[in-house]
Amino acid sequence: MKRVCVFAHYDRDNIIDDYVIYYLNALKDVAETIIFVSDCDLEQKETAKLNGIADYIIAQKHGEYDFGSYKRGFLLAKDKGLEFDELIFANDSVYGPFYPLKPIFEKMEKKKCDWWGMTKNSYGMKEQKLVYKPKWEPHIQSYFIVFSKKVFTNDVFEAFMLKIKQENKKEDIITKYEVGLSKYLNKNGFKSSVYINRYWFVHNCMSVKWDEMIKKYNFPFLKTTIIKNGFYFMGEVIGWEDVIRNSSAYPIELINKNSQRLKDLYENKYSKLNLYRKIRFRMLIHCPPEIRYLIILFEKYTFIVLNTICFHKLKKF
């Protein structure tokens, strides 16, 4: 089966990080053609890293985030008249893969679906009185999606892609394009599926079930934001190095190198923890994942209720 992968890239320092190169090389095992699309103006010394890996490269700032890159890669594949059976959309928001991707594709081929993703998020977002509230809206997460020819050759798919434009808020991108894609394709009769299909009532299994997914279900990815932002200070990813080291031969130094380079993005926001957060952090370290998740979920929705009813100007939790 011939596949084309459109890979969406962004880096604040306008570089192609080593963990991205590792990921792209792994994608070569399942995709004959890779179209690398960056939302950065990359210099030639950076795009040279893709020699022998990417077949086509687009490296221009467009400000439309990952879906803008997906759109450009899809249109390039169409303009070039590429012949293929499946279209992959993937982006650099995950570390990995920790396991080979071929067995996953073999498993998903047996499901006879029109399109699929790695995971599903059970909730979308609804803006209400300047606050985004969780809304029950299951959707396939857009960091890794695979479409059959039935989908990507259909006019309704191209119509959706052509509507992608620059948005003012990240929440609008998620609502219109990530959640919107699932709603749109389902509405038009395309059957979907997911590789990990067991956390229906979890807000985002990538954030709270990451360790179980990697250890128990051979899940190949870990979200980069979990390592680099406040999740770490809240205790959700304590022991991630051991989880990966005991499950995979993935070079952990790639994660450490990337997170260290970008850590100043998050230090100002998270390094000065108040007394409550310090106590909370110590408490969560020693909790089993299930208890940790319940505590975090309780805190989150308690804050949302207070924020909505009493304190509209408080930061979201």
275-307 confidence digits (pLDDT tens)? 665 566 556 655 665 676 677 677 766 765 665
Domain ranges of the chain: 3-204
b/e per residue, 225-246, with b = 16+ CB within 10 A?
ebbbbebbbbbbbbebeebbee
Q: What's the CATH number for 3-204?
A: 3.90.550.60
Question: Which of 10-14, 154-158, 313-317 has the least mean pLDDT?
Answer: 313-317
Strands (E), 242-295: none
pLDDT band at 23 (very low <50, low <70, confident <90, very high): very high
The mean-pLDDT minimum among 7-21, 53-67, 86-100, 125-139 falls in 125-139
The position carrying tokens 């977002």 is: 125
Please state, rounded to an integer, the average pLDDT across all residues of the chain.
Answer: 85
DSSP three-state, residue 225: helix
Terminal Cα-to-Cα distance of the chain (whole angstroms): 44
pLDDT tens digits for range 118-165:
999 876 666 554 555 566 688 999 999 999 999 999 999 999 999 999
The CA distance from 184 to 187, in Å, is: 5
For the ranges 66-80, 149-163, 221-235, the lowest mean pLDDT is seen at: 221-235
Q: Is the pLDDT reported for residue 220 higher than 60?
A: yes
The whole model's pTM is what? 0.83
DSSP E strands, the chain:
3-9, 33-38, 56-59, 86-91, 94-95, 115-117, 120-128, 131-140, 144-148, 192-194, 222-223
